[in-house]
Amino acid sequence: MADLARLGEDSEAAPSDAGQLDPEPAAAPAATLLEVEDLSKQYAETRAVDRLSFAVRAGEILGLVGPNGAGKTTTLRTIAGVLPIQSGRVAIAGYDLATAERRAKLQLAWVPDDPQPFEAMTVDEHLEFTAALYRVGRWRARAEELLARFELLEKRGALGGELSRGMRQKLAFCCAWLPRPRVVLLDEPLSGLDPHGIRSAKAAIRDLAAEGSAIVLSSHLLDLVEELGTHLLVLRRGRKVYDGTMEGAHRAAAAAEGTSLEEVFFAVTGGELGRDPERATATEGEAEGQA
Ligand SMILES: Nc1ncnc2c1ncn2[C@@H]1O[C@H](COP(=O)(O)OP(=O)(O)OP(=O)(O)O)[C@@H](O)[C@H]1O
């Protein structure tokens, strides 16, 4: 997919480890697979991301939520290496995105909110291309499984330009899952999926986390985030206003006599619970206290 190609490329100035990968052993297995430190992004007059820090560990599914324009997509695109890092640091499976870009990106998969396959490549060719890009050995059996899981077997010969919106999304999942990435970024991953596709996508997300990957799931669908997420990060105007476990968010909601994540969302983003969003900038414990 066009997005995949960008992800696989070195998008900026020559990384320090450009060229052939040497047989150097992988970084020591780290419990923390995604580290974001003090990340900022300015678009002209707009501070889209403002000194954002968070971490995602193996097996965690971090729900990334926030109002329109909060900076979610900008954050994901920066972690994916599609946008340059203006300031701050991103490390993927221990590899610094600025100094070990290629190695970092080989550990990462990204499903953008509107995947755009290569129009003139078939579904099968996208998988073959992904396997080559990510250097996946013996990938065909896994590709078959993924095509079956996402009901794309009948479309394996179809060109990218012939796929419906939902099929493009399913193909993006297949390509993202093929290399068993250690970190996965998902931006509104259920968009366009039919009920079977939604069920398959949810199961695939859970399974990959259970295998030890770290997943960031950005969505406006709070029910989805609540259902799948183990942790929650709420952004508002580029800033973190809640960062904690989903359990902690539930406790905060309960303390506010609420029943769902919506209460936490509105509380920390200055919504209907009427709290001061600046004061609501919170870690898990603080949010509970405020609620
Ligand atoms: N290419 C761009 N040029 C200028 N400003 C931009 C650009 N992309 C995003 N922005 C601005 O950056 C801020 C964050 O946008 P971003 O798309 O990251 O938010 P988001 O949380 O993903 O929003 P949504 O939920 O609406 O998708 C917004 O104020 C937006 O207008």
Note whether residue 76 is domain-resident: yes
Note whether residue 267 is domain-resident: no
Note whether residue 67 is domain-resident: yes
Ligand 1 lining (C-beta closer than 6 Å): 43, 46, 48, 66, 68-74
Note whether residue 283 is domain-resident: no
For residue 193, give the CATH number of its domain: 3.40.50.300
What pLDDT score was predicted for residue 285?
A: 55
Nearest-CA residue for atom 3 of ligand 1:
43
Note whether residue 160 is domain-resident: no
Task: For residue 139, report the distance from its CA to the centre of ligand 1, in Å.
Answer: 36
Question: In a structure prediction context, what are the per-residue pLDDT tens digits for the chain, which is 291 residues long?
Answer: 555 444 444 333 333 443 444 455 555 544 899 999 999 999 999 999 999 999 999 999 999 999 999 999 999 999 999 999 999 999 999 999 999 999 999 999 999 989 999 999 999 999 999 999 999 999 999 999 999 999 999 999 999 999 999 999 999 999 999 999 999 999 999 999 999 999 999 999 999 999 999 999 999 999 999 999 999 999 999 999 999 999 888 887 777 666 677 877 887 787 533 333 343 445 555 554 444
What pLDDT score was predicted for residue 264?
A: 77
- Give how many domains the chain has, as a whole number: 1
Nearest-CA residue for atom 27 of ligand 1:
68
Note whether residue 165 is domain-resident: no
Atom of ligand 1 nearest to the CA of 67: 25
Nearest-CA residue for atom 31 of ligand 1:
69
Note whether residue 232 is domain-resident: yes
pTM for the whole structure: 0.84
Domain that holds residue 191: 2-9+28-116+180-237
| Of 45, 73, 269, best ligand 1 pocket probe by most atoms within 8 Å of the beta carbon | 73
What pLDDT score was predicted for residue 15?
A: 38
Q: Distance between CA 279 and CA 135 in Å, rounded?
A: 47
Where helices occur in the chain by DSSP H, the ranges are 2-8, 72-79, 101-106, 123-133, 140-149, 165-177, 195-210, 222-228, 246-255, 261-268, 284-290
What ipTM does this complex have?
0.98
Please identify which residue in the block is written with the tokens 């490329």: 9
Note whether residue 167 is domain-resident: no
Q: Pick the closest to residue 35 from 79, 75, 91, 76 (CA basis).
A: 91
Atom of ligand 1 nearest to the CA of 71: 18
